Structure 1
Amino acid sequence: MKITQRMAKLAEYFALHPRWVLGLTLVLTIIAGWAAQQLPIHTSRQALLPQNTEVAQRFNDFLQNFGAASDLIVVLEGAPRSELESFANDLAARLRAEPEIGRATSRLDMTFFLNHAYLLLPNEGLDKLSALANNPIAIDGGLEHNLEKALNWSRKNSPSVGTDIELQTAEAGLNLATFFLEQWRRWLFAETVPEDLDWNRLLEKSSVGGMTDGYFASHDGGMLFVFVHPKNASGNFEHLGPFVDKVKRVSANLIDLSQTAGHTPPTVGLTGLPALEYEEYVNIRQDIKFVTITSASLVAMLILLVVRSLRWAALIFIPMGIGVLWSLGLALISVGHLNMITAAFIAILFGLGADYGIFTTSRIAEERRAGKPLLEAIGAGIGSSFTAVLTAGGASLLIFGALSTVDFPGFSELGIIAACGVLMILLSTWLVQPALYALLPPKLRVDSSPKPGLSPAASTKSLTGFPKLLSLTLVILAIGTAVFGGLKGFAADFDYDVLAMLPEDSQAAYYQRRMVEESDIQPEVIIFTAQDMDEARRINREAGKLKTIAQTQSLTGLFPEDADHRLRQAESIGETFSRSDYRKQLAELEHEGLSSTSFELVKAILANSTTIIDQAQEQAFSAGHVSLVESLENIREQLRAIAAQLKSDDPLSRARSESFLRALISGANDGLDIVDQWHQARPLIPEKLPPALRERFFANDGTIAVYAFPAKTVYDPDNLDALIQDVYSISPHATGFPTTQQAFAKAMVASFSRGTQLSLALCLLWVMAATRSPLGFTLAALPLLIGGGWMLGLMALSGIRYNYANIVALPLVMALAVDYGVWFSYRWRELKLHSPFQVSLTVGKAIGLAAGTSLAGLGAITLASYRGVSSLGMSVTIGLLCCLTATLVVNPAIGQLLDYKRNR
């Protein structure tokens, strides 16, 4: 007995005992529903990455030792700098009190760094301080007397820049002079008197900018960044969600309090990898819920609209829904969880699963119209459609099964769950549908399409087929454009930008792009690990020289090789300064202030400054020191602007200049306070670091972390490759998001290429074995190949680039659209007496409805807010429309050319 006959008998048996079958189905469905409820969804990106690679192992080791590899970054802007700083400090303090927060940092502890400045200063700086301590400068006679001496010197002496002074010393002196002139000019021209000197301007010239106020800021200071570290470093949403929500809630509450107190609250935004993953999960979860409900509703409405029978719609939809639920239950056993990719695939199963029910019910209806009793018609319909449905379903199962063999877990798990889904829906169709049909047989409507086995003698000539020349032209054109489209599509660029897949209004993506453009800080950070301080120093030194690195962060400066020598020198400097009379001199200057006489002397000195600068520039130019010439020209401009303002007789000029003098004196006193403490300096060890610094840079096992911020976006493959090449040249043990991003991209693209090729090969071999004839194989396979080529070409022409979400579109189209050609091929051979057009009309309703259900589900996906998901829906929709057109328009012409018996 043939297998089709066995299936017919089995279907009749199920139809004869529907209650037993449905009772068993109910038990299995309840079990599957329970299992589906136990199915966890792994929301971390790490769940998509291969965990058996060296890159993943290094990253996991870092997470185990240090916690999260990326902080949530709170961006503050849109308020005066003082308000931003106050808000940042209050926010960090409030966050540190929350149980979900590991640490929150708004600024570095500058007191700690200043107290240990002897470890950070260049050796030349320490030597100058030592000389200043041992040979104190005496300021005798008061300010007026010393200004008179300076004026006399300016009239009689010429500078010696570039002659007997070392170039480095000259540059340092000019930088210092430029800084003080810039600050003086700032005092003169500001709307309100500045509160303090902006020491950042001086330290930036020494490559240690940001070390005075300690805030993490953009280049223009308009944005401040607060770094928040989670208590639980897991990337799963059960921990990530409450963490981000708490930061949002605390920020919102602080904004309300700030407004109530009459302050200007800043605009608050979140970015960094935790914010990206949070937005990604929230949007995908919302999209899955929306798409699942919408696609199921659209599929049901479409089926109901086309068949115009509630019972008929139930016969298609219920077995499909049961199969989907069974597949979720089986996923608990086969994979054990869902990830972001497999969770989104459930909506697609609704469209795919409906195809089989549509094909089988259409054949049962044909048998009933032919006059067969209900049970016999059910058996005959299931039996006659079994081979076609098995061929189509088997091809889809093999396509997804091929994906399960790739190394990229995101694809392999999709392959396993999708293959199980296809299998469960097939079993549900063959088991449940006959029983349901027996209980709920739909009423038959008059069908004007040709009946199987009947002569089409009444057909007009217009329904016989295409003219031969037109058929040949159509087929050649279809194949040619498909080949062209395939070549264009496979040559299309891949979009590696993860940010482009987020919603258009993504806050995290917006601020992340701005951070890359407007600061030296990126959320995507390279992390070097060292086993001792010597290695950490080497890494920090070499990484700082790379053009691909904008900035490094480490504590190696606090642990120099000559720390013991520096400690002894600092003790000596502190003790000597404590015995000096510098404080007395500063107190006298502050008491004296800037008198009218002193102010006039200052103006006279400024008037002589042009001649001095001219002579200095000539000497520097003669010595070939171009950089000194440029620095002197900058000083000239500053002096010119200050002199012009002082000559304007503005009454505020002297008051502002005196205020500037007092700011200088205050800064000098602060410096003396710090140096005085050095005589009590003690050796620094990691255990004595502030907790925030120690936890960030030192692990419990002694591993030392060095952080490096990329100079350019890591979502450009050329930038990323150059960065990783440089990074691994320094340390092959480096980790961080950019390293996993590169591995992620390479694994995904390689898996896509291998999986797609294997899927296509297995699909074609299966169809060839099932059809067992060149004509049957051609009619079944060519629509898929032609439609796939058209799809790739249209994607390339319309500018749709591959990304991490829609890269799986081609295998999905193969699995979804293989049904069309297979069903057409089997029906072509069954309807031997019908013309090509008549065959197309007969099978067109079933294939059109099957395609419509898939398009309904995918149409809902295109509406997703997460652009990665919507691009997948758009790509698959294009592919299905192309395959449907190839099946119903091109396939009749192919059959007409190849099936010469039918044409006689």
Structure 2
Amino acid sequence: MERTMGALAAHNHRRPVVALVCALVLSVVGLLSARHLSLNANLVSLLPDSFESVQAIHSLEERFGAQGWVVVVGEDADPAQLQRFADDVAPKLEALPGIRYVEITRPSSFFRSHALYFLSPEDLKEVERRIDARLTWERQRANPLFVSLDDAPAPSLDFSDIEKKYDGGAVTRLSSHPSDYYLDPSARRVVVLAKPETSSADLTFSRNIVGEVQAVLKQQDLAKYGPGFHTEITGSFQKKMDQQAQITRDVAVSSTVATVLVLLYLVLHFRSALSVGLVLAPVGAGLAWTYGLVAVAYGQVNLLTAFLGAILGGLGVEHGIHLLGRYLALRGEGRSSEEATREAFTHTGGAALVSALVAALTFFVLGTSQLRAFREFGVIAGVGMLVLILAYVVVLPAVLGLVSRWGWRPRASSTETTEAPLGRVITHRRGLLTVVSVLVVAGLLTQLPRLRFDYDIGSLQDQRLDSFVLDRAVNQLIGYSQVPLVVLTNSRGEEAAVVQQLQARKQQRGADSTVDFVAALASIVPDRQLEKQAILKDIGKLLKGVPEGQLTPQQRQQLAELRGQVEAKPFTEADLPSSVRQQFEGRGGPGTGFVLVYPSADQSDGQAMRRLAKEVRGVVLPDGRAAVVAGEAMVQADIFDTVAHEAPFILLGSTLTVLLAMWVTLGGLRTALLCLMPTVVSLFAVLGLMPLLHMEFNYLNILVIPVLIGTTVDAGVHLITRLASPSSDFVRVYSETGKAICGGLLTSAVGFGALLLADHPGLNSIGALANVGFGMNLLIMLVTFPALLLVLSERKRRHRAVSTRPRGEHLMREGQGPQRPTPSH
């Protein structure tokens, strides 16, 4: 492989025009393909379509339509004006072609007036009995001829034990708010809920529908609702748009900053504008080729692969630093340009190829993940690493050949290797540095039990965005989640069975349940209403005899409400308020069935969503089939479970793949283990350092571990292969290779470090953890590993000296005196 790389580089050096034309054509084709790439930040797209939760989401969208709302919030006005605004804007929003319906009022009044129909006939009979007993007792006490033979207390009219039986039910939760509007007088805020036709996953539709809502609001004379009145938009659709805009902005900023920082470092490293161009030209070509392939294979980038340009750029520049640095050193020794090119690509290029293959294999192991974001990241990064090496073999020798024809020669300052003072320090203090390093790493390992995993979904979605903050306030105002889980059913019988099972599970789990309440038309329209109506008429007759003069004002108000409730008529689905009925009607109309499961836990709590998924999954329909449960919470739970299941296998697979690849390419297990040792030690040191830095793993930054395994191992490869030469001088090799290693790790860190500028917390955590990893690896590669190599080589020399020493001399040193040598000696 080394000879082939050297020969190919020399060929391109001799025929630079052909090589550069081929590279240019491929780059143009790649850029033309890549211009159609789009960003998909949808949470559902992180999982493959084969997952049950993803299939359920698609079924839900077909039958139910969009989940979530476009939420219009009116703020800073008195309650009367807030209600007026809601009444004015609702019909205009409902007239939009992409809006199915609009909600501005709660069903509280309807359910309060019909509350007694949701009691069982037996409980209604008990209510009637208690009222009758109390009235009998009151009449007896009012009779002057009545003489009580005991001091028994008055029969209780406390119905809390009956009410408790129905607490937590859908009707109780839907009727618990005193206001009919979604209004908070203290916050001076009103909410208008608009239900779109299409899912928020369709970003084009989301932009259009939110734009249409904004246009309606701009047409309103908002000043008539008060001097400070204003509107905001939140909900699932606005949140998706804001998240998309944030990630797009983060990509632009991070890539720009990474490019600028790499340029600055290369200028400081080579102190030559041409050298900077020589390093960056292959990187630019390789990225154009890579993203052209991405456009053909995937057509879009996700939350992670959107940033691969900055990451691959930093990793690619590392190869350029090693290759060009070796070329310049060889030119300083008097080699011709073609000879220096052949030699640099034969040995340093061979090491670069080994490291690229190892990194690519590590990424490909990550590409076996079922999580689409990880899989695409692994595949694209692995292909990108190989493409970048190809770009360097094609472009760099050709450009070197071209500029050498034009008479360019490196300046003497760029070809001279300055002796690094640290090399002399390591040589003289190798034992002390090794012992100190061992103690430091051992101390860090004691912190491993404190390592934690952050289950907050905030690593996948930035909860600090204005629309996310306002959305949480809206949830509190409404009193329950805007985005419930949906169980798909086909009949009222199936709805009733699902509701019964879920309520039984909720009751069984008690305070540990993650379900707030369950709602379905089968549970909202009670049965046996005619039987209950007859009991209510009897209760109504009793209530007419209650002496109001003896009641307090509060009791008289309760009596009036109770008299209204017993006079309520039976009702059907058609009599339900439209705000309730529409929630259970899919695109096929009232015939389709849905059971809404409202979570009690925060949907950004990953652990709670995993418990919720376990609580609602496995519900059995009357025919024995498992019910389909759909919702983003189910997708989140699958993402969490997938990462938790795959992480150990990916970590082990990455390590074994790297070791096997290095064993094959370097020709020996001992050499492979030696090259891998700095990476393994630095990783364990990073894991121990994380608790001290208050850093935690999350569902995004955990991919940094296999990435670090694949991208930091090349430093050990370069150092070991250079020191393998019998005539190598440690200080000289350390000074030359250490400078390249330092530059390579720094530019790699820049690629990931650009994510530190991202506003997205998950991407920010990737940048932070990667830079801690690169920093630790740099420290071990520049201090610990060279000192250990010197200690090991010194022990090896002593062992050889003892084994080759004459036997008599060996025995004399052991104090046994000389012996006469024999012929065999």
Do both proteins adopt the same fold according to a TM-score greater than 0.5, normalized to the shorter chain? yes
- CA distance in structure 1 between the partners assigned to 2:421 and 2:246 by the alignment: 54
Alignment deviations for residues 109-153 of structure 1 (CA, whole Å, 9 cap, x no partner): 67987998896676589999999xxxxxxxxxxxxxxxxx99x96
Is the 2:753–2:770 Cα contact (8 Å) retained in structure 1?
no
- Worse-matched range after superposition: 74-83 or 384-393: 74-83
CA apart distance, 1:473: 0.8
Cα gap change, 1:111 to 1:219, in 2 (>3 Å): closer
- CA distance in structure 2 between the partners assigned to 1:252 and 1:812 by the alignment: 49
Alignment deviations for residues 18-51 of structure 1 (CA, whole Å, 9 cap, x no partner): 1111111111111111211233433321110132
Q: Which residue of 1 aligns with 2:584?
A: 696
Cα gap change, 1:49 to 1:158, in 2 (>3 Å): farther
Equivalent residue of 2:278, what SS?
helix
Choose from 748, 752, 767 the match for 1:873: 767
Asked if 1:780 corresponds to 2:675, the answer is yes
Correspondence list, 1:392-431, <5 A: 392-431=355-394
Is the 1:516–1:713 Cα contact (8 Å) retained in structure 2?
no
Asked if 1:226 corresponds to 2:192, the answer is yes
- Worse-matched range after superposition: 232-241 or 10-19: 232-241
- CA distance in structure 2 between the partners assigned to 1:695 and 1:881 by the alignment: 54
- Worse-matched range after superposition: 750-759 or 491-500: 491-500
Alignment deviations for residues 632-682 of structure 1 (CA, whole Å, 9 cap, x no partner): xxx79x69xxxxxxxxxxxxxxxxxxxx99x999x999999x96xx6xx89
CA apart distance, 1:776: 3.5
Equivalent residue of 2:598, what SS?
strand
- CA distance in structure 2 between the partners assigned to 1:461 and 1:501 by the alignment: 44
- CA distance in structure 2 between the partners assigned to 1:332 and 1:160 by the alignment: 94
- CA distance in structure 1 between the partners assigned to 2:119 and 2:78 by the alignment: 32
CA apart distance, 1:875: 0.7
- CA distance in structure 1 between the partners assigned to 2:528 and 2:732 by the alignment: 92
Q: Which residue of 2 aligns with 1:748?
A: 643
Equivalent residue of 1:440, what SS?
helix
CA apart distance, 1:267: 6.2
Q: Which residue of 1 aligns with 2:598?
A: 709
Cα gap change, 1:474 to 1:96, in 2 (>3 Å): same
Q: Which residue of 2 aligns with 1:289?
A: 252
Choose from 645, 654, 657 the match for 1:759: 654
Q: Which residue of 2 aligns with 1:619?
A: none
- CA distance in structure 2 between the partners assigned to 1:324 and 1:228 by the alignment: 43
Correspondence list, 1:296-375, <5 A: 296-375=259-338
CA apart distance, 1:558: 4.9
Paired letter, 2:432:
L
Paired letter, 2:769:
S
Correspondence list, 1:193-592, <5 A: 209-210=175-176, 214-216=180-182, 224-248=190-214, 250-251=216-217, 254=220, 257-262=221-226, 265=229, 268=232, 270-271=234-235, 273-441=236-404, 443-447=409-413, 462=424, 465-477=427-439, 479-481=441-443, 483-484=445-446, 487-488=448-449, 492-499=451-458, 502-503=461-462, 505-514=464-473, 520-544=479-503, 546=506, 547=510, 548=513, 549-562=515-528
Correspondence list, 1:38-117, <5 A: 38-75=36-73, 78-108=76-106
Choose from 10, 17, 20 the match for 1:19: 17
Correspondence list, 1:624-773, <5 A: 684=573, 690=578, 693-694=581-582, 696-698=584-586, 700=588, 702-728=591-617, 730=619, 732-733=626-627, 734-773=629-668
Correspondence list, 1:746-895, <5 A: 746-773=641-668, 776-830=671-725, 832-835=727-730, 837-895=731-789
CA apart distance, 1:108: 4.2
Cα gap change, 1:500 to 1:64, in 2 (>3 Å): same
Aligned residues: 765
Is the 2:262–2:747 Cα contact (8 Å) retained in structure 1?
yes
- Worse-matched range after superposition: 879-888 or 521-530: 521-530
Alignment deviations for residues 76-100 of structure 1 (CA, whole Å, 9 cap, x no partner): 5554333333333334333222334
Identity within the alignment, % = 22
Paired letter, 1:492:
L
Q: Give me the TM-score of the superposition, normalised by structure 2.
A: 0.81
- Worse-matched range after superposition: 540-549 or 392-401: 540-549
Is the 1:531–1:704 Cα contact (8 Å) retained in structure 2?
yes
- CA distance in structure 2 between the partners assigned to 1:345 and 1:8 by the alignment: 29
- CA distance in structure 2 between the partners assigned to 1:429 and 1:707 by the alignment: 57
- CA distance in structure 1 between the partners assigned to 2:395 and 2:422 by the alignment: 41
- CA distance in structure 1 between the partners assigned to 2:3 and 2:173 by the alignment: 84
- CA distance in structure 1 between the partners assigned to 2:341 and 2:151 by the alignment: 103
- CA distance in structure 2 between the partners assigned to 1:300 and 1:393 by the alignment: 22
Cα gap change, 1:221 to 1:554, in 2 (>3 Å): farther
Is the 1:788–1:879 Cα contact (8 Å) retained in structure 2?
yes
CA apart distance, 1:365: 0.9
Equivalent residue of 2:428, what SS?
coil
Correspondence list, 1:591-602, <5 A: none
Equivalent residue of 1:422, what SS?
helix
Is the 1:482–1:793 Cα contact (8 Å) retained in structure 2?
yes
Is the 1:15–1:435 Cα contact (8 Å) retained in structure 2?
yes
Cα gap change, 1:867 to 1:434, in 2 (>3 Å): same
- CA distance in structure 2 between the partners assigned to 1:205 and 1:505 by the alignment: 33
Alignment deviations for residues 532-558 of structure 1 (CA, whole Å, 9 cap, x no partner): 213323433454562422233332245
Q: Which residue of 1 aligns with 2:133?
A: none
Is the 1:294–1:857 Cα contact (8 Å) retained in structure 2?
no
CA apart distance, 1:340: 1.7
Alignment deviations for residues 487-530 of structure 1 (CA, whole Å, 9 cap, x no partner): 34xx6322222236655742244245556667641245222233
Paired letter, 2:605:
D
- CA distance in structure 1 between the partners assigned to 2:196 and 2:19 by the alignment: 52
Equivalent residue of 1:551, what SS?
strand
- CA distance in structure 2 between the partners assigned to 1:852 and 1:461 by the alignment: 19
Cα gap change, 1:377 to 1:170, in 2 (>3 Å): closer
Paired letter, 1:309:
S
- CA distance in structure 2 between the partners assigned to 1:159 and 1:204 by the alignment: 45
- CA distance in structure 1 between the partners assigned to 2:354 and 2:619 by the alignment: 55
Alignment root-mean-square deviation, CA:
4.5
Alignment deviations for residues 143-165 of structure 1 (CA, whole Å, 9 cap, x no partner): xxxxxx99x96999999999799
- CA distance in structure 2 between the partners assigned to 1:66 and 1:460 by the alignment: 68
Equivalent residue of 2:48, what SS?
coil
Cα gap change, 1:801 to 1:88, in 2 (>3 Å): farther
Q: Which residue of 2 aligns with 1:190?
A: none
Cα gap change, 1:893 to 1:558, in 2 (>3 Å): closer
Is the 2:520–2:584 Cα contact (8 Å) retained in structure 1?
no
Cα gap change, 1:682 to 1:764, in 2 (>3 Å): closer
| Higher Rg of the two aligned structures | 1
Paired letter, 2:452:
D
Is the 2:116–2:565 Cα contact (8 Å) retained in structure 1?
no
Paired letter, 1:320:
V
Paired letter, 2:33:
A
Cα gap change, 1:829 to 1:251, in 2 (>3 Å): farther
Instruction: Specify every segment of 5 or more residues in structure 1 that has no aligned partner in the other structure, as ranges.
Output: 132-148, 176-200, 586-600, 610-634, 640-659
- CA distance in structure 2 between the partners assigned to 1:466 and 1:401 by the alignment: 42
- Worse-matched range after superposition: 458-467 or 714-723: 458-467
